[in-house]
Amino acid sequence: MARSALLVSSRQSSTLLIQQFLATYLGSWLRTATKGRVTASPVVITAPAGTFAPTLGDTPEARLVHFDESPAALRPLAAAGADARRSTVVDALPEVLPEAEQAALLVLLDVTSGSLPLDDLTALLTGPRAGRWPSSDVIAFIRADAIRRTAAKLIGERRSEAALEKLDRAVGAEWRTEYHSGGAGAVVRGYLRRLEAALPGRAWPAAVRVNPNDEPVFWLILITRQPHGAWAFADAVARARRGWRRTLRQAGAEKSPTEQLAVEGLQSAERLAVGAERHEERAVVENLKRNLLETRRRVGEFRISDRPREVLDGLFGTADTAQIRAAVRELHAAGKTLSTGVGGDIRDHVLRLPDRRAR
């Protein structure tokens, strides 16, 4: 069977992206979650299980708890001995929170599923889990096509009040007006504004596009009190995006002329030639160099890890650590920094740019 035959829907395309993302991110999160005074095993919640459980590998360091309202999604998990519960997260919180009281908590949330509405998400992170330790983090995932499918129910015979009200609770009722003004992207921007109002400075969004000028296909949003965790998140998204779109391009190349693959982002991926991809990666390094220089001129010498928003401005989820290292090394070669970019974690480097060299 041709590889392209495996990619036949947007949901399967998103599963591929999430799988590649979690393969990088989850290990980093687990290392951080088990540091310091935290001795209990970290708890990872999937909500719903149908979105995330198939993407998780073996994670013996963590306790996985899967929630879904679909028996079909839970059946294989239960058969494998997993902790699989038929419920939404919001209904199970009174039971789950005491179980995870002394443990770091990571919630993998498919926002449009309605499993954890916006108000309840805010209450969780400002209530009993409001402290910095043990950490309480959320990875919120949004598919553009899921928003569009619900928006189609706004009019005519396809109108479904239940589906509309579920999205009202998930992202805020304002989404109906936002969608009419700017589509799925406007809905996500509105959701982010409401997150920022409720949880200032804690949301780190990464829009996933196939090509730089395309509308986003997916969004991954980290919600955390640990700003240094944004680095691992951004790096994992960038690496996952690169692998995801290369797989899409291969799938497009392998399909026969008669096949029609309804994969979100596939047509755009087919337009992405290898040369164009290299050009984009080069542009990322150039933009990183500009961000590094501008940050140094504004704040003086700084440790890269202390300035994720400035260094990754406009590049969050696009630039990875290898490109940051390349940017620092090129600045050094041009005589614009004393930092060489060689050795250690590049994010631990202090960017030293004497004024006489930065001109």
Partner residues linked to 223 by β-bridges: 138, 203
Which pLDDT band, with edges at 50, 70 and 90, does 155 fall under? confident
Q: pTM (2 decimals)?
A: 0.89
Contacts of the segment 328-332: beta carbons below 8 A, 24+ positions apart: 328/292, 328/304, 330/285, 330/289, 331/289, 331/292, 331/293
Q: How far is residue 338's CA from residue 349's CA, in Å, rounded to a whole number?
A: 11
Average pLDDT on 89-109 reads: 90
pLDDT tens for 58-74 read 788 899 999 999 999 99
**pLDDT tens-digit map of 75-90:** 999 999 999 999 999 9
Q: What is the pLDDT of residue 48?
A: 94
Q: How many CB atoms lie within 10 A of CB 289?
A: 19
CATH 3.40.50 is held by the domain 3-243: yes
Distance separating alpha carbons of residues 313 and 292, to the nearest angstrom: 10
CB neighbour list of residue 327: distance below 8 Å, 6 or more residues apart: 285, 288, 289, 292, 341
Mention every residue, 6+ apart, whose C-beta is less than 8 A from residue 114. Answer: 88, 166, 167, 169, 170
